[in-house]
Amino acid sequence: MTDDLGHATRPARKPAVGDDRAVLGAVAKLAEDRFAPRADEYDRTAAFPAEDFDDLFSDGLLGAAVPREYGGLGYGPAQRNTLPLWEMTTTLAKADLSLARCWEGHANSLVLIDALATSEQKRRWFTGVVEHGEKWVAWSGEPQTPKPGESARFGTTLTPVQDGWTLRGSKAFATGATGVQWAILLVDPVGPGGARQTREVHGRLLLLACDLSDPTVTVDTSWWDPVGMRATASHVVRFHDTFIPREHLIGGPGGYFDGQWQTAFIPQHAASFLGGALAAYEYGLAYVKRQGKSGDPYVQQRVGSMAVNVETARLWLRHVAGLWDEGSLDEARIAGSRAWHVIGHLAEETVHHVIRACGARSLIRPSPVERILRDLALYKLHDNDDHVLATIGRAVLGEPYDPFFHRL
């Protein structure tokens, strides 16, 4: 079924629940046939990849991280079935890294609802995803340190009112702002800073589900004009005394930190980095073969490095997913940061090898390599690599460390 705009209002196909290979094969086909060809236009126009999400919904894949008893595929760390979710993310990233970031936001939100929401909330919100194609995201971003030329500070303030709260202020880096229906807002009730920017927030952080069709929520599209990850549409969103009903509170204060949920999402970024590397690797291989460069010993070395890099990245993801699913949570959490660090470097190095082996024309459109280079450059800044590495070192040394945001 479709609405007046031709968008699907019910999934047209049922996925092969329980047959992960079939599901991942269907995702790979969609990614190759439809998502990769659309990526350039979404990037040029910095537009949310809406049609890609319509296709995921039509094929019954939007609820991948929804538990099976609610009509989903039951993927993800909350269901102890992590690798299929991350492999799906890698496949989407191979087509379009921005699409994968939007997908991560959606899937992570569903994992949080699965882990922390009441059964009534799950029934309502999972039905919205599986039956009606609703898309979710999680927004924390309230950077407190202004950059040159920035006068207004980002940040939100929450005021208790009868039956809920009102929210005033702004969030930046709001991925999917022009395309999703629901956002989980990570809010510090004491004042601006979100989850990432305030160290003392742990016990009091609230997760509030916000219906983005509320007219008091507006999107400022003038801020997001970045070098890469353009189609994530990570705009500034403003809240003008937006009412959040009490029944939209997910879990209790501090539940996000108590469950250490950020650590389940860090390695999924790495799954996306791998997707970018795979796309560049595939393009590079076809390029050097077509140019008859396969006999060049330097090209051979670079191709050898690329192959080892992507294989190493796959092994790391498999290892971390296995730790999550066997319940070795402490090990899984720090291993996720290790995977983020090493896969980020392997992905960047792989793209570098492709460029050196292929030459300048590999960085001219319609080559996807120039977009992957830009996307990875920005996406790698989602977290601070120096701080991630220091966090890993602190864990080894037995020093206290912050596994969520790698603050020193």
Ligand X SMILES: Cc1cc2nc3c(=O)[nH]c(=O)nc-3n(C[C@H](O)[C@H](O)[C@H](O)COP(=O)(O)OP(=O)(O)OC[C@H]3O[C@@H](n4cnc5c(N)ncnc54)[C@H](O)[C@@H]3O)c2cc1C
Q: CB of residue 57 vs ligand X: minimum separation in angstroms?
A: 20
The binding track of 324-363 with respect to ligand X, each residue x by CB under 6 A or -, is ----------------------------------------
Beta strands in 198-349 (DSSP E): 206-211, 217-220, 235-245
**Residue of 10, 381, 393, 396 interacting with ligand X (CB under 6 A):** 381
Tokens of 48: 């949310």
Q: CB of residue 276 vs ligand X: minimum separation in angstroms?
A: 12
Contacts 24+ apart (CB under 8 A), 325-333: 325/77, 325/80, 325/81, 325/82, 325/83, 327/80, 329/260, 332/263, 333/260, 333/263, 333/403
Nearer to ligand X, 21 or 147 (CB): 147
Residues 16-35 contacting ligand X, CB under 6 A: none
HEC string for 303-336: HHHHHHHHHHHHHHHHHHHHHHHHCCHHHHHHHH
**Residue of 182, 287, 379, 401 interacting with ligand X (CB under 6 A):** 379
Nearer to ligand X, 8 or 236 (CB): 236
The binding track of 223-242 with respect to ligand X, each residue x by CB under 6 A or -, is ------x--x-x--------
Tokens of 244: 């959040």
275 three-class SS: helix
- How many angstroms separate the CA atoms of 40 and 241, rounded? 37
DSSP code per residue over 183-202: EEEEE-TTSS-TTTS-GGGT
Residues 190-219 contacting ligand X, CB under 6 A: 196
**Residue of 58, 175, 367, 391 interacting with ligand X (CB under 6 A):** 175
Nearer to ligand X, 207 or 335 (CB): 207
**Residue of 7, 124, 318, 382 interacting with ligand X (CB under 6 A):** 382
**Positive or negative CA dihedral for 225, 229, 230, 233?**
negative
Which of the 8 DSSP states describes residue 70?
G
Nearer to ligand X, 227 or 315 (CB): 227
Nearer to ligand X, 130 or 137 (CB): 137
Q: CB of residue 11 vs ligand X: minimum separation in angstroms?
A: 25
Query: What H or E segment, with its residue span, contains residue 166?
Result: strand 164-174
Tokens of 46: 């910095």
Which range touches ligand X (CB under 6 A), out of 75-83, 274-282, 297-305, 374-382? 374-382
Q: CB of residue 404 vs ligand X: minimum separation in angstroms?
A: 11
Reference 142, options 103, 105, 168, 111; nearest CA is 168
Residues 98-157 contacting ligand X, CB under 6 A: 101, 105, 137-141, 143, 145
User: What pairs with residue 244 in β-bridges?
Assistant: 165
- The CA distances from residue 381 to 35, 223, 387, in Å, are 24, 17, 11
**Residue of 378, 391, 401, 403 interacting with ligand X (CB under 6 A):** 378
Q: CB of residue 181 vs ligand X: minimum separation in angstroms?
A: 15
Amino acid (1-letter code) at residue 277: A
Interaction between residue 374 and ligand X (CB under 6 A): no
Q: CB of residue 221 vs ligand X: minimum separation in angstroms?
A: 15
What is the end-to-end Cα distance of the chain in Å, rounded?
52
Q: CB of residue 17 vs ligand X: minimum separation in angstroms?
A: 28
Q: CB of residue 92 vs ligand X: minimum separation in angstroms?
A: 15
Nearer to ligand X, 176 or 284 (CB): 176
Nearer to ligand X, 12 or 381 (CB): 381
Nearer to ligand X, 49 or 105 (CB): 105
Nearer to ligand X, 59 or 134 (CB): 134
**Positive or negative CA dihedral for 145, 147, 148, 153?**
negative
291 three-class SS: coil
**Residue of 291, 300, 312, 384 interacting with ligand X (CB under 6 A):** 384
Nearer to ligand X, 63 or 141 (CB): 141
Q: CB of residue 266 vs ligand X: minimum separation in angstroms?
A: 11
Crossing angle of helices 82-95 and 97-116, in 10° steps, is 160
Judged by the rule CB under 6 A, the positions of this chain that interact with ligand X are 101, 105, 137-141, 143, 145, 173, 175, 196, 229, 232, 234, 378-379, 381-382, 384, 387
